A and B are shown apart, each in its own frame.
Chain A
Amino acid sequence: MPITRDEVAHLARLSRIALSDAELDHLAPQLDQIITAVAQVQEVAAEGIPPTSHATGLTNVFRADEPVPCLTPEEALAQAPAVERQRFKVPRILGED
């Protein structure tokens, strides 16, 4: 199933990447080629084969409900692009909260 330039544009928007037209022109055929190649997995007969999401076989890894020292607000905010009132200052957000 080849991927169209429009689909690439849609996925870029979904991924919050403002691709330029030139990039779209460049990336779309490459992605098409890659997707065609990786689609090879569909050749594999996998009826009844369970998918593996975790290779270790571990289950039930937990921690106790005990507090652990955390960062100070200064440490947390030190690398922030913008700070106001001890909070991360971000550009206006569209949409309902």
Chain B
Amino acid sequence: MELTRMTAAELSAALATSEVSATEVTQAHLDRIAAVDDRVHAFLHIAADSALAQAADVDQRRATGEQLAPLAGVPVAVKDVFTTKNMPTTCGSRILDGWHPPYDATITRRLKQAGAIILGKTNMDEFAMGSSTENSAFGPSRNPWDLDKIPGGSSGGSAAAVAAYEAPLAIGTDTGGSIRQPAAVCGIVGTKPTYGGSSRYGVVAFASSLDTPGPFGRTVLDAALLHEAISGHDPMDSTSIDAPVPPVVAAAREADVSGMRIGVVTDLSGDGYQPGVLSRFAEAVELLESLGAKVTEVSCPHFKYALPAYYLIAPSECSSNLARFDAMRYGLRVGDDGTRDAEEVMALTREAGFGAEVKRRIILGAYALSSGYYDAYYGKAQQVRTLIIRDFDAAFGQVDVLVSPATPTTAFPLGERADDPMAMYLADLCTIPSDLAGNAAISVPCGLAAEDGLPVGLQVMAPALADDRLYRVAAAAEAAFAGRWGQPLLASAKGLGA
């Protein structure tokens, strides 16, 4: 089998027995990138030299008989929001064009320590704000299913890379849905771990209380392997949870849902949901039931306020997080001609360096936090957040996991919502509640929509620290679908031809 068509689990096994070398695997993926990335534009930076050097190192260590981690020699694509020493980190923004961080994110370090091969940095909506990568300062990425469609966002580059077989694994961040939504529209698996389950140290902050690094893979097991490799307590991150990583890999292998109580969130349906998406979702629910799960309907009445609450909390935090980009210490500096003062240079730089969506959210955030408005906007949103957490708590008192479609629609065309922020925000309708509550959620492919033949994602949500339940359910669904479809869903993706 072509190395780029193998799953991470298969590559790991082949590498472990030296059936194949890390160098071969890496070169194969670099070749694939060279062949298709001019059309997909998943990558902002391809780290060919360092990837091959890492691969050579892994091969050498394996040759000496050293015991290596499961992902040693397996390529990974890294969203350009994670700091990587000696590699550019742009966050999809002009304001950080050319910035080489002097330190690695904790997750970057953990990947390197595991021997994973970092192929490069992937494209994203600027500073993780967006659902399509159209907000990237360096051009959008394209959906391998149909190159005129969005790959989702903000981690669209990572999702596209995996869907295009440029990498078996990728990492992204999920703040309002930025892993699950791209995974859903690209027909792959993506997980938002429990908030605090994966370290944010070295993840350029968008919304600090929501940002959650997580894995992409073409299979549930692959995502679980990566989930395990990057998770765990980090003393450099005060919001990091000091608890063992939930047994996600074991759960993915067990894939048994008999007796599990599954709740369908009735509020995540209705107007604005594409009929083809709802059909595939309904079938997925029936499938789970046929596998032995007990399905009921659950109401989470405050979920309808999740979107407005999110679009108050996230911009508020980001307006503060992005204040540091001021041309004084790193990054773009515009207008310093010797006559202007520091404030003018700051303002000119930020004007030139930030895109429209980022400016919108910064201003929105400043508004929501300003004295006189704080209570009615930010303060109120934080109260809504409490109510959403309580909805989840009540629901999880009755069921083990909740399910819904991952997105209201399939991948929409590039350009369709680019200058309609409110329409763009609707892409996150289903994913936002879990971000606000900090619990775990996954999107797993559940078919193609009849209208357009584009992938639909099934979202599974679990309580905080119960990430393993996600993989249990997702793996069961995946296996059952595989039986039904006869081949992986991605095999029918037409966008790239072969």
**A–B contact at 8 Å CB threshold (below):** yes
Q: How far is the CA of A20 from the CA of B377 in the complex (A)?
A: 27
A94 close to B360 (CB less than 8 A): no
A93 close to B342 (CB less than 8 A): yes
- Residues of A47-82 at the interface with B, using a CB-CB cut-off of 8 Å, are 49-56, 58, 61, 63, 71, 75-76, 78-82
Knowing A41-B380, A88-B328, say if A55 contacts B354 (CB, 8 Å): no
Q: Which residue of A lies closest to B381 (CB)?
A: A41
Q: Say if the beta carbon of B124 comes within 8 Å of chain A.
A: no
A50 close to B383 (CB less than 8 A): yes
Q: How far is the CA of A31 from the CA of B319 in the complex (A)?
A: 14
Q: Which residue of B lies closest to A48 (CB)?
A: B383
- Residues of B434-462 at the interface with A, using a CB-CB cut-off of 8 Å, are 436-438
B341 close to A91 (CB less than 8 A): yes
B330 close to A80 (CB less than 8 A): yes
Interface stretch (choices B110-118, B185-193, B384-392, B475-483): B384-392
A17 close to B359 (CB less than 8 A): yes
- Output the residue of B302, B331, B383, B386 with the most chain A CB within 10 A: B383
- Residues of B363-400 at the interface with A, using a CB-CB cut-off of 8 Å, are 363-364, 366-368, 370, 376-377, 379-387, 389
Q: Say if the beta carbon of B347 comes within 8 Å of chain A.
A: yes
Give the contact-size bracket for chain A: 35 or more
B308 close to A88 (CB less than 8 A): no
CB < 8 Å neighbour of A17 from B331, B347, B377? B347
Q: How far is the CA of A79 from the CA of B329 in the complex (A)?
A: 7
Q: How far is the CA of A39 from the CA of B308 in the complex (A)?
A: 7
Q: Which residue of B lies closest to A68 (CB)?
A: B236
- Output the residue of A8, A43, A51 with the most chain B CB within 10 A: A51
B384 close to A46 (CB less than 8 A): yes
CB < 8 Å neighbour of B241 from A8, A20, A58? A58
Contacts of A17 in B (CB 8 A): 347, 350-351, 354, 359, 362-363
Q: Say if the beta carbon of B244 comes within 8 Å of chain A.
A: no
B336 close to A16 (CB less than 8 A): no
Count A-B pairs with CB separation below 8 Å.
181
Q: Say if the beta carbon of B38 comes within 8 Å of chain A.
A: no
A19 close to B359 (CB less than 8 A): yes
Contacts of A7 in B (CB 8 A): 367
CB < 8 Å neighbour of A78 from B102, B195, B346, B370? B102
Q: How far is the CA of A81 from the CA of B331 in the complex (A)?
A: 7
Q: How many residues of B contact A (CB 8 A)?
A: 67
Instruction: Sample 29 A-B pairs with CB under 8 A, ordered by A number.
Output: A15-B350, A16-B350, A17-B347, A17-B350, A17-B354, A19-B351, A20-B351, A31-B364, A33-B421, A34-B421, A37-B422, A38-B377, A39-B377, A42-B380, A44-B383, A46-B380, A46-B383, A46-B384, A51-B383, A52-B382, A52-B389, A53-B209, A55-B196, A55-B438, A79-B102, A82-B336, A90-B342, A91-B340, A93-B342
Q: How far is the CA of A92 from the CA of B336 in the complex (A)?
A: 10
- Output the residue of A7, A14, A20 with the most chain B CB within 10 A: A14
Contacts of B383 in A (CB 8 A): 41, 44, 46, 49-52
B360 close to A31 (CB less than 8 A): yes
Mark interface residues in B272-314 (1 if CB within 8 Å of A CB, else 0). 0000000000000000000000000000001001001101100
Q: How far is the CA of A49 from the CA of B349 in the complex (A)?
A: 41
Contacts of A43 in B (CB 8 A): 305
B305 close to A44 (CB less than 8 A): yes
CB < 8 Å neighbour of A56 from B241, B344, B346? B241
Q: How far is the CA of A81 from the CA of B340 in the complex (A)?
A: 15
B359 close to A34 (CB less than 8 A): no
CB < 8 Å neighbour of A94 from B311, B328, B343, B377? B343
- Output the residue of A11, A41, A71 with the most chain B CB within 10 A: A41
Contacts of A63 in B (CB 8 A): 235
Contacts of B100 in A (CB 8 A): 78-79
Q: Say if the beta carbon of B333 comes within 8 Å of chain A.
A: yes
Knowing A54-B209, A56-B195, say if A18 contacts B331 (CB, 8 Å): no
CB < 8 Å neighbour of A35 from B323, B333, B354, B364? B364
A16 close to B370 (CB less than 8 A): no
Q: Say if the beta carbon of A40 comes within 8 Å of chain B.
A: yes
Known: A7-B367, A31-B364. 16 other contacts (CB 8 A): A11-B367, A18-B347, A20-B351, A23-B356, A23-B359, A27-B360, A34-B421, A37-B311, A38-B308, A43-B305, A46-B380, A52-B383, A55-B195, A55-B437, A56-B195, A82-B333
Contacts of A39 in B (CB 8 A): 308, 376-377
Q: How far is the CA of A46 from the CA of B343 in the complex (A)?
A: 40
Q: Say if the beta carbon of B414 comes within 8 Å of chain A.
A: no
Contacts of A88 in B (CB 8 A): 328-329
User: Shortest beta-carbon distance, B281 to chain A, in Å?
Assistant: 26
Mark interface residues in B318-345 (1 if CB within 8 Å of A CB, else 0). 0100010011111101001000111111
Knowing A14-B366, A27-B360, A71-B102, say if A38 contacts B312 (CB, 8 Å): yes
Contacts of A49 in B (CB 8 A): 383, 386-387
CB < 8 Å neighbour of A3 from B319, B367, B421? B367
Q: How far is the CA of A78 from the CA of B329 in the complex (A)?
A: 9
